[in-house]
Structure 1
């Protein structure tokens, strides 16, 4: 799209003036003119730069003005391009420098001097060493000036009265860019669901051009019935960093000598189902050199609208699963219709740690069954994708992975609603002399019910006769098949004297539920069946 502006060069300066008038009751009331923004100076330091021996930069200096006496700041961009002396056309990626009043450290351009009403900036333009001839022309193609909500664009013939260009002596780049391995991003099955909405697939590759650098390109996918999609692409500067982005990838070197790209190609809604291949990849460098890859080695995409083969009646059994104490197996079943030459594959993907565990089989009732492994204590797994492929290559897709209809399948864990329950506890030994405390530990065994969630934590407190805590410990624990949990109390370093000591404990299970027993310092403590658990220490 192009726009045509009426431009006027006035005394070497460019100014935009707006006069506003309003008619009131037959009379005219004049309002204050809108502040004017202007470019008043622009020049390169050198009219000719030779980069045939080494890299060089040419300093650009410019001055902008604002007639608003109350303005506090001003900013904008300067866009520079190379022009071919062979074709006369602008060629190569643009070079954009951002400038801002009083910004000297972190922007592209440097603030030199001045006020928001008149300020000067500079930028050292790196000059490319390669073009399509021994000379090329560099020029400023556009300047934006922004103050508040007012923007001034200076371009085209408006720049003619300024020193907006220079000539570069260059080396000749007679070749085009090259590309390495082409893959899908992210690494995925090459399936795409296209029905009422468009769908996008991303191709990953790296472009190299160690002379003039990569500029732009196109990707063409060819599908059934003569359909095709062509997508142009280039690299751009990241909006919030100094990096550079080609598609979805932020990497590479400025000017495209080495640029990683991840380019999205969108198939329109209603695209023909079947195989879509990468038919052509065209790459162009900053000197205009072009490389065309026809039918490059790259993954093809199978598109579907689920019109040929369909799956329905999705079901997971058992669900919920009891995987509190170990990994368990479940089964995803479905009915498949429209398949030609049977089924060649069924692929199931999950959000979570569940996995398809084996190949699908046909059950007696004709339903297709896919084994699923549910790891121990996994709380839930959502089915994110199902791909059903028949023997003729027809495809049906379901789930967010493919942007396809949701099968609405979530594997959940059997809920645990009760906290641990202790039914008794013993100490071994229940008594010892004070001197023995330093030489042996006391074994604590707690008998507990086997609930849905296993006990996996045990905290112990030992209380003196006055209720003070003389010993505490907490750690992970395993509950035995018979429900018991066991730990050892090491009391030697406590310097305990003769007397009786009550032992209390807190049980925690894998569902993060807990219960306290015989702990007088906790309001939620319960009385252990069989009464207090007491350790007796006697004098030697």
Structure 2
């Protein structure tokens, strides 16, 4: 290795240039150096900043290079952190800002340059509060990316830039974070089935700290037998926006003065069945102020494996139900075993158009039962969640919506298998002068058989002597209790001439079955028992 190459490698802490050679037909050919990214300058405008007043800030300027010959972009992130002057440790949440030569991100400004070498600037808001009267802000990491390459500049290299940090004069934060709106996320039913698989859920709360801002924390749940589980409360810059994400929540501000959080938690297999609650919340602000809230008012949860209390032998009677024409009720009953101090609660959730009505009751044979209202719009419904609780607080839980065993309870509709049948049809009037056609409607009355599903529409078609349709309508209108259907045709504006016209129609029922009557252009059309329905238009 030559001395000049050795010196180049020693200077290139973050980058590596490779020069290789090969012999082609007896001649040496040098290859170009591997493209690389580098941070070549970085400094804060001020070495000290007075942050004791609002809106304290400092301007960070940095320059990056990209040696790709056809470089089209230069982007990355800058991470800044505050260091305590008391402990020398990092204090508070980091601040991550993005820069991009082609796209603007937040407050980062493109000062000048090209994708091969560009200078950027960022005005960092300086926190007014810390744990002492001074604090140090430092650039702790810079990431760089080009079109096909990336690099990371770590703390060791950054510290070689004289202006990589500055000192801030601050106020001392003697407060601590507070929280509100502690709840199960989306107000979900606080019942969880845990046996072979874990149960996942989210605890939501909003953290406030209007001095130094919220940094981090934890939530601890406590349950039977001394069991407990915890999760950390963390927040970060959202990857795909300029906002901030704390768990599943995507709002809040850059310093955590106001931070809604929704933290996912898990009841693992082996979780003790019974009542669980939030036993402790710990919150830490950006000045290191810590607050511990023991046994806060919040949601309680019940875990079960259906090992103590059980519901079995589910029966719906009557089933199927005839709800084609009106809402009906049926009964859902079950056998319950293992109950202590009786049954205190029964909740049933159906997928659609079915719901329990009235209070649960115990039948003479000891079965637990409840009435179920089945809407006339329902074509059947299944139980998605069912829970039973006894007087001692034990829980039995079933259904897909609770990630619990499927109780396989379905309410079916009486099936409709026969298409509608027309028994007779008549026109009133059956004959009309052409001069009166514009002033008088023609009523078609069809008597249809009353079957399982009612007829819901009767599209009407009028044919001339050549079998061509000269009038048609959708014919919406329901079937009367006696089976009849009527439709008033207005034919005055259809250019009809004197002559005879055949009136055909289709019957369409609520189950989707249909039949065709006196329609010469439909091969499956049926003929009415009394023959075709004919309208005569006379001269005059």
DSSP-derived class of the 1:344 partner: strand
Q: Deviations over 1:33-92 (max 9, x none)?
A: 754432221122333333433324433222233444355544322111222223322222
Shift of 1:18: 7.3
Q: Deviations over 1:220-250 (max 9, x none)?
A: 1111111111211122333333332222222
Shift of 1:147: 4.2
Change in 2 beyond 3 A, CA 1:491/1:39: same
Distance 1:455 1:115 in 2: 74
Residue in structure 2 matched with residue 136 of structure 1 by the alignment:
135
Matches within 5 A, 1:121-520: 121-147=120-146, 150-162=149-161, 163-520=163-520
Distance 1:182 1:20 in 2: 63
Change in 2 beyond 3 A, CA 1:380/1:133: farther
Q: Deviations over 1:366-394 (max 9, x none)?
A: 33223222211312323121111112111
Matches within 5 A, 1:60-75: 60-69=60-69, 71-75=71-75
Runs of 4+ that moved beyond 6 A = 18-21, 30-33
Change in 2 beyond 3 A, CA 1:240/1:324: farther
DSSP-derived class of the 1:476 partner: coil
More displaced 10-residue stretch of structure 1: 144-153 or 475-484: 144-153
CA contact (8 A) 2:13 2:157 kept: no
Distance 2:530 2:84 in 1: 97
Change in 2 beyond 3 A, CA 1:413/1:62: farther
More displaced 10-residue stretch of structure 1: 509-518 or 64-73: 64-73
Distance 1:55 1:380 in 2: 63
Distance 2:82 2:412 in 1: 61
Distance 1:309 1:17 in 2: 70
Distance 1:479 1:300 in 2: 53
Residue in structure 2 matched with residue 5 of structure 1 by the alignment:
none
CA contact (8 A) 1:145 1:152 kept: yes
Change in 2 beyond 3 A, CA 1:291/1:499: same
Shift of 1:328: 1.9
CA contact (8 A) 1:65 1:118 kept: yes
Change in 2 beyond 3 A, CA 1:181/1:522: same
* Alpha-carbon RMSD: 2.9
Q: Deviations over 1:71-125 (max 9, x none)?
A: 554432211122222332222222212233x323457644444454433333332
**Structure 2 length normalisation: TM-score?**
0.88
Distance 1:20 1:172 in 2: 58
Shift of 1:491: 2.4
**Structure 1 length normalisation: TM-score?**
0.88
Shift of 1:520: 3.0
More displaced 10-residue stretch of structure 1: 407-416 or 66-75: 66-75
Change in 2 beyond 3 A, CA 1:335/1:467: same
CA contact (8 A) 1:103 1:111 kept: no
DSSP-derived class of the 1:360 partner: strand
Shift of 1:271: 1.4
Shift of 1:534: 1.5
CA contact (8 A) 2:353 2:377 kept: no
1:58 aligns with 2:58: yes
CA contact (8 A) 1:9 1:158 kept: no
Shift of 1:218: 0.8
Distance 1:313 1:298 in 2: 36
Matches within 5 A, 1:3-14: 14=14
CA contact (8 A) 2:9 2:16 kept: no
Gaps spanning 5+ residues in structure 1: where? 1-7, 22-29
Distance 1:498 1:31 in 2: 96
Residue in structure 1 matched with residue 49 of structure 2 by the alignment:
49
Change in 2 beyond 3 A, CA 1:157/1:470: same
Change in 2 beyond 3 A, CA 1:476/1:171: farther
Q: Deviations over 1:460-496 (max 9, x none)?
A: 2223334443332224311112221112112233354
Shift of 1:20: 10
Distance 2:487 2:255 in 1: 66
Change in 2 beyond 3 A, CA 1:284/1:340: same
